[in-house]
Amino acid sequence: MEISIFVELSMIIIIAVIVTGLMRLLKQPLIIGYILTGVILSPYFLNIIRSTDAISVFAQIGIALLLFIVGLNLNPRIIKDVGKVSLITGVGQVIFTSVIGFFLGRLLGFSTIASIYIAIALAFSSTVIITKLLSDKGDMETLYGRISIGFLIVQDLVAILVLMVIASIPTGLSFSTLVFGIILKGLGLLLLLFLVGAYILPPICKAVAKSQEFLLLFSIGWCLALASLFYYMNFSIEIGALLAGITLSVSAYRYEICSKMKPLRDFFIILFFILLGSQMAFANISQYIIPILVFSAFILIGNPLIVMALMGLLGYSKRNSFLAGLTVAQISEFSLILIILGVKVGHLTNEVLSIVTVIGLITIAGSTYLILYADKIYPLLSRYLGVFERKGKKVDEHRYHSDGDYDLILFGYNRIGYDILESFKKIKRRFLVVDYNPEVIIKLAKEGFDCKYGDADDSELLNELNFPRVKMVISTIPSLDTNLLLINKIRESNKRAIIIVVSHQIDEALKLYDEGATYVLMPHFLGGHHVSAMIRDKKLSVSKFLKEKVAHIEHLKKRKELGHEHPQHHRHQGL
């Protein structure tokens, strides 16, 4: 009897739970668990996935929702800031990787046509995988995160053009007709979306947002509608979903939309990774071990070096160049699609498909570890990376402070940091704000505050700060490792400084106290303590509580204007 899609999907999810549960026990990235689940479910092992078409649809929905949320975070002002570096690194990396990859292919004995296909396939990195990893790390708002997403989108546009050219070969469509058709249709769609986003969407969103359920439904509908429109206009679903998000990125309700869409996105994107794993081909691989290892090493090491060199020439610091470079250390789902198309039009054999598939598995797994543990890898390599950094002032330095001693240093401005900054202003001591979001730094600088762009995980940044003379350091970053590093750095030279850090776990808070924290702020417990104090102070007076309510509403409105929302607890995201 035919297994129904419901039962099949249930079995897929159950096996995914077991495999990813094992990954959690081993403290491994969950993405590896999803891909391994797909490999286990593939025809080479359990052969459970039969309804490939139905699951492919779910996977496509996941990709669309993922890129829609990416678009929500790509405010046009941000695109303007990182557009130049994204375009140069995106196009430059594709060109250099393709050229080097072609010569490697020829040296390894592949034909000219096969070398061309393999070289182009090696040039594209996975926007889907990188976006998921950056989101999991809480690095989407960092400068390197924005640049990475920018040049990955540039790569996707190049990939889509290449795929359309190859797909047109059997129909005999001329290249000029194809390109001009794309340009004219693309410009027309962009102009239409600009007008809709500027004049039509704002009043619609305002009306829709009165109901949170309807806001979620509207957002999903808008995402899928634009994705489908672009598909029928011979563009990709991914570009349509991305632009759907960008058109809503200037909306006052983008944070609500983003938070409501994430659980839905996570479920469908899991199916994408499982499907990707299930389609890995392993036939006749043994005789191609050397080419697989050479190409995999080139992707894992060569691609990051290319991006680092390009960003270094543009004047970026070695740290941001290194972190951005790691995001191109894998091949894309477009790479596999490209090779599959090459097989269909008769340019390639199935052996090439198998080779690229295994390279995909190796590089996706390898780059996942590199990206997730980049902050631990960077200090080990930092001294050797100076060659990728130009002398003098860096483009990404965002230096908005004078040299000298500071009495107070705040790491992480957003949310809790906002109120702390208000207290700093009142006590009239010299203070410095350190934040990893360049937008926050520029905003504070315009308001006249001393501030510095950087990440509290960066040992080099911490060495630049004059901790021996500081009186108080506050970290709103809820990461145990980050706060331990910060405490140890300060205590090396200053035993008397007041150090206040944030934690969400009792055991972690006690460890922070043991390492030298003066006070550990625990927001969840603090909320109950605050309400208790209100009850003692106001007793049962309705008028006093209503007065407090009015003040709180005004405070929340101010926070909403600033874009503050309740945090998702990421690695180094300030509260």
Say what the pLDDT of residue 11 is: 92
- Pure H helices in 279-415: 289-297, 303-313, 318-326, 333-344, 350-372, 374-381
Measure Cα distances from 219 to 75, 212, 262, 284 in Å: 17, 11, 12, 46
3-state secondary structure of 346: coil
pTM: 0.72
What confidence category does residue 281 fall into, taking pLDDT thresholds of 50, 70 and 90?
low
What confidence category does residue 174 fall into, taking pLDDT thresholds of 50, 70 and 90?
low
- Could you tell me which residue, 264 or 184, shows the higher pLDDT? 264
Which percentage of the chain shows pLDDT scores above 70?
88
What confidence category does residue 14 fall into, taking pLDDT thresholds of 50, 70 and 90?
very high
Residue 97 scores a pLDDT above 90: yes
Question: Average pLDDT in the 12-36 region?
Answer: 86
What confidence category does residue 74 fall into, taking pLDDT thresholds of 50, 70 and 90?
low
Question: Average pLDDT in the 179-198 region?
Answer: 77
List all residues 6 or more positions away from 51 whose beta carbon is below 8 Å from its beta carbon. 5, 8, 9
Residue 456 scores a pLDDT above 90: no
Q: Which stretch of 7-11, 79-83, 119-123 has the lowest confidence by average pLDDT?
A: 79-83
Which class does domain 52-388 fall in?
mainly alpha
Question: Average pLDDT in the 451-468 region?
Answer: 84
Say what the pLDDT of residue 303 is: 94
- Could you tell me which residue, 259 or 314, shows the higher pLDDT? 314
Among 269-278, 330-339, 473-482, 561-570, the range with the most confident prediction by mean pLDDT is 473-482
Q: What is the DSSP string of 440-469?
A: HHHHHHHTT--EEE--TT-HHHHHHS-GGG
Rounded-to-integer distance, Cα 375 and Cα 309, Å: 20
Among residues 238, 219, 265, the alpha carbon closest in space to that of 62 is found at: 265
- Could you tell me which residue, 81 or 308, shows the higher pLDDT? 308
C-alpha dihedral, 69 to 73 to 77 to 82, nearest 10°: -100
Question: Is the Cα torsion angle 263, 65, 328, 334 positive or negative in sign?
Answer: positive
Residue 533 scores a pLDDT above 50: yes
Question: Average pLDDT in the 59-76 region?
Answer: 80
Where along the chain do the CATH 1.20.1530.20 domains lie? 52-388
Residue 433 scores a pLDDT above 70: yes
- Could you tell me which residue, 381 or 523, shows the higher pLDDT? 381
Question: Average pLDDT in the 30-36 region?
Answer: 83
3-state secondary structure of 3: coil
Say what the pLDDT of residue 47 is: 85
Among residues 6, 85, 35, 32, the alpha carbon closest in space to that of 320 is found at: 85
Say what the pLDDT of residue 1 is: 42
| Average pLDDT of the chain, as a whole number | 83
Architecture field, domain 399-561: 3-Layer(aba) Sandwich (3.40)
Say what the pLDDT of residue 284 is: 66
Q: Edge-to-edge strand order for the sheet containing 399-400?
A: 399-400, 451-453, 431-435, 408-411, 472-475, 498-502, 519-521
Where along the chain do the CATH 3.40.50.720 domains lie? 399-561
Say what the pLDDT of residue 175 is: 56
Rounded-to-integer distance, Cα 284 and Cα 289, Å: 10
Say what the pLDDT of residue 512 is: 93
- Could you tell me which residue, 569 or 328, shows the higher pLDDT? 328
Question: Average pLDDT in the 191-200 region?
Answer: 85
Residue 407 scores a pLDDT above 70: yes
User: What string of H, E and C letters represents the secondary structure of 147-173?
Assistant: HHHHHHHHHHHHHHHHHHHHHHHHHCC
**Interval 116-160: pLDDT, tens:** 999 999 999 988 788 888 887 878 778 888 888 888 888 877 877
Question: Average pLDDT in the 214-231 region?
Answer: 91
**Interval 333-377: pLDDT, tens:** 778 778 877 887 788 887 888 888 889 888 988 998 899 889 889
Say what the pLDDT of residue 424 is: 83
Residue 569 scores a pLDDT above 50: no
Which percentage of the chain shows pLDDT scores above 90?
24
